C-alpha cells in the first residue's frame, strides 16, 4: 500500500533554487578568483626579468667579495682576472636560474609599463654618458700609444656597461649591484681597488641590499608557486604514502 510522502522529508530533499542573489554571489566569487589568479601570474612573471631571487643573493655576495679581497690581499694577475669576471658569473646565474628554476612551470614574460621602460632607458643613457666621458678622458690623457693591456681591459668593461644595464638590469637592486660590480671590475683590471671610503661603503651597501632583496624575492616566489602550482614536496609525500599503503 502506497503511503503519502512525508512533507518534511520532501522539503529537505528538494533541490536548491537558484536565486538572483546566488547568481550575483557566484559571479563575484569567480571575479575575485580571476583577479587573484591574474595577480599571482603577474608576480610570477616578474621572475622572467626583474626579480632575481637566488641570483640577487649571488650578486650581493660577489660584490662584497670583490671589495673585501681587493682591499685586504695582494692580487695576482690571475686573481684580478677572476675577480673581474664576477659580474659575468652573476649574469649567467640570472639566466640559468630563470630558465631552470624560477620559470620552470612555464615561461611568462613580464609586462613592462611605459613608465618603467622610460626609467630603464634613462638609467641606460646615464650610464652610457658616464662611460663615454670616461672613455674620451682616458684616450685624451694617454692616447692610443699609451694604452696598456690592463687599461684596455678596464675600458672594455666601461664600454660593456651600458649594454649590460639595458639587457639585464631591470630592477633598482639589479642596477645598483650590477653597476657596482662592473665598476669594481674596471678598477681591478687596471691594477687598483676601492678604498674604505664613501665609495667603498657604497659597494658594501650595494652587496648587502642585493642579498636582502634576493632573500625576500625567493621567499615570495615560494609562496607564489605554492598558490599557483601547489607544493611539490607535499605532493611527492602524499604519493609516496599512498604507494606504501597500496603495497601493504
> Tens digits of per-residue pLDDT, 68-122?
999 999 999 999 999 999 999 999 999 999 888 998 877 788 888 888 899 999 9
The verdict on residue 136 lying in a domain is: yes
Residue 232 lies in a domain: no
Distance CA 157, CA 188 (A): 11
Give me the phi and psi of 207, to 5 degrees please: -65, -45
Within a domain: 178: yes
Q: Determine contact, residues 66/188, Cβ cutoff 8 Å.
A: yes
Spatial distance between the Cα atoms of 173 and 228, rounded to a whole number of angstroms:
26
pTM: 0.77
- Owning domain of residue 177: 45-226
Answer for the pair 138, 151: CB distance below 8 angstroms, yes or no.
yes
Buried b (16+ CB within 10 A) or exposed e, 83-92: bbebbeebbe
Examine residue 37 and state whether it is found in any structural domain, yes or no.
Answer: no
pLDDT at 142: 87
Distance CA 19, CA 25 (A): 10
- The answer to whether residue 3 sits within a structural domain is no
Domain count, the chain: 1
**What was the pLDDT predicted at 88?**
96
The residue assigned the cell 624575492 is 217
Residue-level pLDDT at 34: 58
Which pLDDT belongs to residue 16?
A: 52
241: Cα separation from own chain's centroid: 36
Domain-embedded: residue 23: no
The verdict on residue 241 lying in a domain is no
Query: How many other β-carbons are positioned within 10 Å of the β-carbon of residue 228?
Result: 14
pLDDT at 6 over 70: no
| 238 located within any domain | no
Amino acid at each position: 500500500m502506497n503511503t503519502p510522502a512525508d512533507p518534511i522529508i520532501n522539503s529537505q530533499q528538494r533541490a536548491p533554487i537558484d536565486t538572483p542573489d546566488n547568481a550575483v554571489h557566484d559571479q563575484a566569487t569567480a571575479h575575485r578568483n580571476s583577479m587573484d589568479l591574474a595577480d599571482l601570474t603577474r608576480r610570477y612573471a616578474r621572475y622572467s626579468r626583474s626579480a632575481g631571487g637566488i641570483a640577487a643573493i649571488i650578486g650581493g655576495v660577489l660584490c662584497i667579495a670583490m671589495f673585501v679581497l681587493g682591499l685586504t690581499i695582494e692580487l695576482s694577475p690571475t686573481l684580478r682576472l677572476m675577480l673581474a669576471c664576477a659580474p659575468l658569473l652573476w649574469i649567467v646565474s640570472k639566466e640559468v636560474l630563470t630558465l631552470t628554476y624560477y620559470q620552470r612551470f612555464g615561461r611568462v614574460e613580464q609586462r613592462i609599463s611605459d613608465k618603467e621602460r622610460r626609467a630603464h632607458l634613462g638609467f641606460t643613457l646615464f650610464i652610457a654618458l658616464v662611460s663615454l666621458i670616461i672613455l674620451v678622458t682616458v684616450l685624451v690623457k694617454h692616447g692610443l700609444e699609451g694604452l696598456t693591456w690592463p687599461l684596455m681591459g678596464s675600458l672594455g668593461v666601461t664600454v660593456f656597461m651600458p649594454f649590460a644595464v639595458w639587457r639585464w638590469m631591470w630592477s633598482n637592486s639589479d642596477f645598483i649591484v650590477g653597476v657596482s660590480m662592473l665598476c669594481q671590475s674596471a678598477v681591478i683590471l687596471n691594477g687598483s681597488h676601492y678604498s674604505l671610503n664613501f665609495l667603498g661603503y657604497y659597494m658594501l651597501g650595494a652587496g648587502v641590499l642585493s642579498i636582502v632583496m634576493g632573500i625576500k624575492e625567493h621567499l615570495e616566489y615560494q609562496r607564489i608557486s605554492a598558490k599557483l602550482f601547489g607544493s611539490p614536496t607535499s605532493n611527492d609525500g602524499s604519493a609516496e604514502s599512498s604507494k606504501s599503503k597500496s603495497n601493504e
